[in-house]
Structure 1
Amino acid sequence: MSASIKKVILLFVVLVQLCLLSACNLTPFQQLSPAQLVQQGNFVKAKQTITNNYSKSGNERLLYHLELASLFHLEKNFAQSNQHLSDALTLIDSFYTQSISQLVMTQFSGPTYATFKGEAYYVPQIHIMKALNFSALAKSQPTKADSYFDAALIEMRQLDVFLAQLKDETGGYNSVQTDDSLTAKINRVLTPVFTPTDLLNNIDYKDDAFAHFLSGVLFEQSAEFDSARLQYQRAMQIYENGFEQQYKLPAEISNKALAGLLRVMQHAGGYETELLALRKKHQDIVQNSNNLANVTVIQNIGIAPQRKQLNLLLKADTQAKALVMTPIVFGNTKERRAQMRWFSMLHADTSLFDMIQNYMLGDIGDVAMGVVTKRIPLGPLWDDAVKLGIIDALEFGSRISVTYLEPIDTPITKSEIWVAGKRHTQLLPYHSISLLTLQDALKKSHNEIQMALVRELSKALSAKKLLKEAGVKQDNLLGRLAKLSTSVVNAVTASADTRQWQTLPSEIRLAQFSLPIGEQQITIKTYLSSGRIIEHSEKLMVNKNMSLWHTHTFVTKNSEQATLTKSTLNME
C-alpha cells in the first residue's frame, strides 16, 4: 500500500475518532431552557421557547402542555394552567400502545424519535398542581368557592386511585418485599452486567407520602375530616415505613402527619378511645389551642436536576475478548466531573454507597479526569459476537449516548416562617423531587445503556449488510473507507433522550402551624449558604378550618433577580 493511501486512511481514522468523541449533544434547546428562563423571571421568553421547540401535536406534545401548565400556574392564570394539565392527563391515558413504525424508527434513529410519554411520578404532580389551582380559584372567586373546592377534592380522589394502583404494582411501603418472589428471581436472572445490582435496590417510586399529606390538608380545608383522617394516616405510615429514608427527609415529618391526624380525629368526633391511645403513645405531639386556627404553607424550591447527555466510546478488545466502554466527557469542569462520577457510579465494581450519597448531595468532589474504562468480558459469547459481525463492526469504535443527571445543587440551608416580625416556625422538606428524579434515572440506566448499545450495533451491522449487497468488498481501501464513513454517520446521529418536565421543583417544603383567625401577615425567609436571605410576604386570611398558602422560590445567581422572581410568584 502506497504512503499516500496510508495517509488517506490515517486521516479518515482521525476524522472518525473525532466524530466519535465530539459528536454534538443534541438537546431541544440550544440556548436557555424554559426552566432557566423561569428562574430569571422571563416568563414571556419561556413561553416562546416552549411553543417554538415543542409541538402540541408532535412527539413532545405532553411536554408542551406540562411546561405551559407550570408557567400559567406561576403567573396565577390558574384556569389556563388546569386546561393544559387536563390535556396532559388525557395524553398520558392514551399512551398505552406504540406503533411498529415508531419502534423501528426509534431502534435505528434514537429514542428522541419516539413519543415522550412522561414518568409515573408526573401524574401525582399533575393532580397536585390542579388541586392547588382550584384552591386558588376558590379564594379569588368566592361566589364559586364551593364548586372549586369540590373540584380540588375530585383531583385528590383521582390521585388516590392512581396511588392505589401504583401501590398494587410495587408493593408500596406496607411490607418488606421478599427476595424469593417469582418477580425477584426473574429480575436477578435478567439484570444486566452493565449495572451493579446494589444500585437498583429500594429506589422504586412506589407511593407518595407528600401527596397523601396534601390530600389531608385539602380535605381538612373543606371540613371533610374523615377523609382527611384517612389521608393523614396514610401519609404518616408511608413516611415512617421508608419514604423519609428513601428521599432523605427529616425524621420528624411522620410526627407532623400524626399531629394532623390527631387534629382531624378530634374535629370529626367519635374517636375518643383512639385519640387517648395515640396521645399516650406520642406525648410529645403538641395540640393547638382551641382559639387558634390552622395554616399550611407550602414552598416549592428551585427546579429538579436536568437530564443531560453522556457519550461513551465502545470498542472491542480482541486480545481480552471483551467490549470496552470509555466515557467521553465534555463541558466545563463541573460537568466533566459529573459525567465521570455518573459513569463510575453506574459501572464501578466496588461499593457505591458513599458515591451515591455524595452525588445525591451534590458533592461531586475531585474526580480523576484521566481515562476510565469499563470492560465487559464476553467469554464464550465472543465467538457468537464474531459470527454476528459485531466485532468487525466495532473496528473503528461506536459512540453510545445515554443520559446523566446533573448533581443536585442545594444552596438553601433553611426556610422559616415569620409572623409579626418574629420567627414562628420552620419549613421542613416534605418531598425531594430531585432525589426522586435521580433514583428514577438510576433505575432505568441499565436498560438505557443496553438499548443504546443494541441500537448502535444494529445500525453498524445494517450498514455493513448494505455495503455487502452493493458489492463493496470489506478488505480493500474502498471497503474500509465506506465502513469508516458509516461509522461517522452513526456517531453523528447517536443521541440520548434528555426530554423531561423541566419546571418541576427540586424540593417541596411545608410548615403547618396555628394562628388567630383573621388577616395575618406571613413572611417566608429563605436562607442561602452564601449568607443571602430571600424574603417573601403574603397577607393571608386565616379561617376556622385550614388556610393554605402555596408559593415557589427560585434561587438565581443575582440577588436582585431572585427577589424579583420571587415577588412574581405570589400564588395564593
Structure 2
Amino acid sequence: MSARIKKITTLCIVYLHTVLLSACNITQFNQPSPAQLAQQGNFIQAKQNVTQNYNKTGNDRLLYHLEMASLLQLEKNYLESNEQLAVALTLIESFYTQSVTELALVQFSGPTYSTYKGKAYYLPQIHIMKALNYNALAKLHPSDSGHYYDAALVEMRQLDVFLSQLKAQTGGYDVKQDDNFLSKKVYQLLKPIFAPSDLLENIDYKDDAFAHFLSGVLFEQSGEWDAARLQYERAMFMYENGFSQQYKLPEQIAEQTRLGLIRVMRRAGGYDSQLQALKPTSEHEAASAANVTLLQNIGIAPKRKQLNLLLRADTESKALVMTPILLGNHKERQAQMRWFQMLHADTSIFDMMQNYILGDVGDVAMGALTKRLPLGPLWEDAVKLGVVDALQFGARISVTYLEPLDNQVTHSEVWLNGQPLTTLLPYHSVSLLTLQDALKQANTEIHAALSREILKALSARKALHKVGFEQNDLFGNLAKLTSSVVNAVTASADTRQWQTLPAEIRVAQLSLPTGEHDITIKTYLRSGHIIEQSEHITANDAMSLWHTRTFMKAQSEQASLTNSTLNME
C-alpha cells in the first residue's frame, strides 16, 4: 500500500509541477501593448493602458513617460510630448546608483523588481523625438519658428555630446581598428560560453549614423552650413564603414548622404579642394539640389517576451540540463524554440561530443532541444552545497526572447500630382537594433537567471531543513514540491521595453519648387495592400524637414486608413 501511495504521489508531483510550470505567466501572450492599441487608432485606450501598467513613481516610471510621449506625439500634442521626454531624460541621468534593498530583491525575486533604466539607444531616440516635436511646432507656429528651430538644434547638440562619449567607449566605426585593438582583445577574454561567438560579433551599439544624418538636416534647415557639413560627413563615414552593413541598409544610403554633404559644402563656400576629393559630377550636382527631407517612421519595433526553461540536475551525466517550456500560440512556441536553438541549444560539434561522452546517443539527438552544462569534478561540490537535492523537482528559469522581425513593407514612394517622384529608403532599422541588443544581453541574462533560481532553491531547502522536512518521504517530497512551485511562480524575465518605437526609419530627400504642395506617401506591403498618406507641405529655398508615422494595420482595416495614421509636420 505504501508503495502504491508513493507511486501515486510521485505521479501527482510530476503532473502538478508540469501544469504549474506551464501556467506561469501565460497571460503575457495576449495582452495588447500601447503600440498595438495606437496602431489600431485607440489612443485613449493606449494611454489608459500606460497608466494602468506603469506607475509614475514606481520601478517602471521611465516607461510611463516614454510611452506617454510617443502617444502624445501621435496626437500632435508636441509640447506635452516634450514635457514627458524631458522627465525621461532627467530620470535616465539619475539612474546611476542602485540600492542594496533593490539588489536583494532582484537576486531572490527577479529583475522586474528593479528600477527600469532603459537601453543605451533610448537616449538618442529621446533627443530625436524632441527635435522632431520642436520641428513640428515651428511649422505650426511660423511666428515662433526661430525659437522652436533653435530648441531642436539644442537637442541635436546634446545628442552629439552623448554620441561622442559612446564612440570613445566603443571605438565607433573607425576603420583603423585591427587585430590589436583593445576592445577586440577584451572581447576575446570575455567570449560568451553559451551563444556561438560569431553570433555576438559586431553587434554593439557604438554610434548612430542616422542621428548624425538627421542632425545634418536640422542644421541645414537653420542655415548652419558648417555644422550641417560636419554631421553629414560623420553620417557618410559611418554608413560607408559598417553602419549600413550592421543594420542591413541599402548601399545607396551612403551615396545620398554624400549628396547632402556636397550640397551644404557648396552653400557654405570655401570647400573647393574638399569637393574635388568628393568627385561631384553633373549628376551629383543635380541630385544634391534637394530642398525637402521626408522622414517616415514605419511600424513598431519587435516585442520582448518571456521564454521559460526547466532546469534540472542529471545525476547520470553529472550535469545541469535546461529544456525550454513552450507557451502561447503556434507562432510564439516556434519563435521560442528558434531563439533557444540559436542561443543556447547544444548544436555545435563540441556540444554534440560532450553529449555523446556524458550521456547516450539519445542526448545527441536531443541537442537541439536541450542545453547541458557538464559540471565534471564540480559535481561533488554541487552535491555538498545541496544544489542537486534542491533541483530534485526542477526549477523554472525565465529569460527574454524577441519576437521574430516581421517586415511587411516592400517599398515606399513619394507621389506628387499623380506621379511617383522618388523612393524612401531605410536609413535605420530599430528592429535590428533591438534584436542585436537582446542578443548581446542574452548570456548575461541567463547567467543571472540560473544563479538566482539556484540560490532560491537552496534557500528553500535550508528553510525546510530547519523545520524537519528534509527527508525523502511523502511529506518531505510534498514540502519540496511546494517550495519548487513557489519559486516557479515567482520566476520572471524582464520583458520591459519602450514599445512604441518604430520598426524602421525611411528617408527621401527631393527637390520641389518653392511653395505649397500636396504630396502622397504610398507604402507597399507584401500582402499587396498599399497604405496611402497625404499631406500639405511647404518647400523653401533651403532645406525643409517633414516627418510621418505609418502603422501596419490589419488587412481588413487597410481600406479605411485615414490621416489618423499620419503625423507629418
Both structures adopt the same fold (TM-score exceeding 0.5): yes
Q: CA deviation at 1:39?
A: 0.6
Match of 1:15 in 2: 16
Contact (CA 8 Å) 1:216, 1:231: kept in 2 or not? yes
SS at match of 1:515: coil
Q: CA deviation at 1:371?
A: 7.5
Q: CA deviation at 1:186?
A: 4.8
Match of 1:71 in 2: 71
What amino acid sits opposite 2:404 in the alignment? P
SS at match of 2:308: strand
Deviations for 1:326-385, whole angstroms, at most 9, x for unmatched residues? 111111111111111100110245579xxxxxxxxxxxxxxx999811211112222221
Contact (CA 8 Å) 2:347, 2:368: kept in 1 or not? no
SS at match of 1:286: helix
Match of 2:94 in 1: 94
Deviations for 1:482-530, whole angstroms, at most 9, x for unmatched residues? 1111011111111111110000000000001111111112110111111
Task: Summarize the alignment of residues 532-547 of structure 1 with structure 2, pairs less than 5 Å apart.
Answer: 532-547=529-544
Flag the 1:568–1:545 CA change in 2: closer, same or farther, 3 A.
same
Matches of 2:375 and 2:282, distance apart in 1: 59
What amino acid sits opposite 2:173 in the alignment? Y
SS at match of 1:287: helix
Q: CA deviation at 1:424?
A: 0.6
Flag the 1:431–1:125 CA change in 2: closer, same or farther, 3 A.
same
After superposing the two structures, state which structure 1 stretch, 269-278 or 84-93, moved more. 269-278
What amino acid sits opposite 1:4 in the alignment? I
What amino acid sits opposite 1:329 in the alignment? L
Match of 2:212 in 1: 212
Deviations for 1:172-223, whole angstroms, at most 9, x for unmatched residues? 0013545555654454444442222211100000000000000000000000
After superposing the two structures, state which structure 1 stretch, 247-256 or 270-279, moved more. 270-279
Matches of 2:432 and 2:371, distance apart in 1: 26
Matches of 1:286 and 1:182, distance apart in 2: 39
Contact (CA 8 Å) 1:40, 1:565: kept in 2 or not? no
Flag the 1:182–1:253 CA change in 2: closer, same or farther, 3 A.
closer
Match of 1:355 in 2: none
User: Structure 1 residue 499 and structure 2 residue 500: aligned?
Assistant: no
Matches of 1:261 and 1:305, distance apart in 2: 33
Match of 2:292 in 1: 295
Matches of 1:204 and 1:62, distance apart in 2: 23
Contact (CA 8 Å) 1:76, 1:571: kept in 2 or not? no
Q: CA deviation at 1:565?
A: 5.6
Flag the 1:235–1:144 CA change in 2: closer, same or farther, 3 A.
same
What amino acid sits opposite 1:16 in the alignment? H
Matches of 2:100 and 2:31, distance apart in 1: 34
Q: CA deviation at 1:9?
A: 3.6
Flag the 1:406–1:284 CA change in 2: closer, same or farther, 3 A.
farther
User: Structure 1 residue 103 and structure 2 residue 100: aligned?
Assistant: no
User: Structure 1 residue 509 and structure 2 residue 506: aligned?
Assistant: yes
Matches of 1:438 and 1:397, distance apart in 2: 30
Contact (CA 8 Å) 2:131, 2:155: kept in 1 or not? yes
Flag the 1:520–1:168 CA change in 2: closer, same or farther, 3 A.
same
SS at match of 1:326: strand
Match of 1:331 in 2: 328
Contact (CA 8 Å) 1:21, 1:313: kept in 2 or not? no
Task: Summarize the alignment of residues 34-183 of structure 1 with structure 2, pairs less than 5 Å apart.
Answer: 34-175=34-175, 177-180=177-180
Matches of 2:165 and 2:26, distance apart in 1: 37
Contact (CA 8 Å) 1:41, 1:561: kept in 2 or not? no
Match of 1:251 in 2: 251
Flag the 1:7–1:345 CA change in 2: closer, same or farther, 3 A.
same
After superposing the two structures, state which structure 1 stretch, 380-389 or 549-558, moved more. 380-389
Q: CA deviation at 1:561?
A: 5.2
Flag the 1:142–1:100 CA change in 2: closer, same or farther, 3 A.
same
Contact (CA 8 Å) 1:21, 1:328: kept in 2 or not? yes
Q: CA deviation at 1:293?
A: 5.5
Match of 2:432 in 1: 435
Flag the 1:183–1:547 CA change in 2: closer, same or farther, 3 A.
closer
Flag the 1:189–1:477 CA change in 2: closer, same or farther, 3 A.
farther
Q: Which of 468, 471, 474 lines up with 1:474 in the alignment? A: 471
Matches of 1:351 and 1:512, distance apart in 2: 47
Contact (CA 8 Å) 2:26, 2:327: kept in 1 or not? no
Q: 5+ unaligned residues in a row in structure 2: which ranges?
A: 350-364
Matches of 1:186 and 1:255, distance apart in 2: 34
Match of 1:377 in 2: 374
Contact (CA 8 Å) 1:418, 1:522: kept in 2 or not? yes
TM-score w.r.t. structure 2 length? 0.93
Q: CA deviation at 1:277?
A: 2.4
Deviations for 1:49-99, whole angstroms, at most 9, x for unmatched residues? 101111110011000000000001111100000000000000000000000
User: Structure 1 residue 551 and structure 2 residue 548: aligned?
Assistant: yes
User: Structure 1 residue 225 and structure 2 residue 225: aligned?
Assistant: yes
Contact (CA 8 Å) 2:33, 2:46: kept in 1 or not? yes
Q: Which of 519, 525, 534 lines up with 1:522 in the alignment? A: 519
Contact (CA 8 Å) 2:26, 2:328: kept in 1 or not? no
Matches of 1:426 and 1:317, distance apart in 2: 58
Flag the 1:288–1:184 CA change in 2: closer, same or farther, 3 A.
closer
What amino acid sits opposite 1:113 in the alignment? Y
Deviations for 1:92-125, whole angstroms, at most 9, x for unmatched residues? 0000000010010011111111111000000110
Flag the 1:331–1:450 CA change in 2: closer, same or farther, 3 A.
same
Contact (CA 8 Å) 2:346, 2:371: kept in 1 or not? no
Matches of 2:260 and 2:403, distance apart in 1: 36
Q: CA deviation at 1:14?
A: 1.8
TM-score w.r.t. structure 1 length? 0.93
Flag the 1:332–1:137 CA change in 2: closer, same or farther, 3 A.
same
Contact (CA 8 Å) 2:413, 2:421: kept in 1 or not? yes
Matches of 1:556 and 1:429, distance apart in 2: 20
Q: Which of 408, 412, 423 lines up with 1:426 in the alignment? A: 423
SS at match of 1:56: coil
Contact (CA 8 Å) 1:74, 1:571: kept in 2 or not? no
Contact (CA 8 Å) 1:293, 1:542: kept in 2 or not? no
CA RMSD of aligned residues (A): 2.1
Match of 1:570 in 2: 567
Flag the 1:374–1:431 CA change in 2: closer, same or farther, 3 A.
same
Flag the 1:419–1:304 CA change in 2: closer, same or farther, 3 A.
same
Q: Which of 479, 482, 488 lines up with 1:485 in the alignment? A: 482
Deviations for 1:466-497, whole angstroms, at most 9, x for unmatched residues? 11122323333222211111011111111111
Matches of 1:383 and 1:289, distance apart in 2: 72
Q: CA deviation at 1:164?
A: 0.4
Contact (CA 8 Å) 2:533, 2:562: kept in 1 or not? no
Q: 5+ unaligned residues in a row in structure 1: which ranges?
A: 353-367
Flag the 1:190–1:474 CA change in 2: closer, same or farther, 3 A.
farther
Matches of 2:181 and 2:423, distance apart in 1: 43
Deviations for 1:289-340, whole angstroms, at most 9, x for unmatched residues? 89x6510000000000000111111111111111111111111111111111
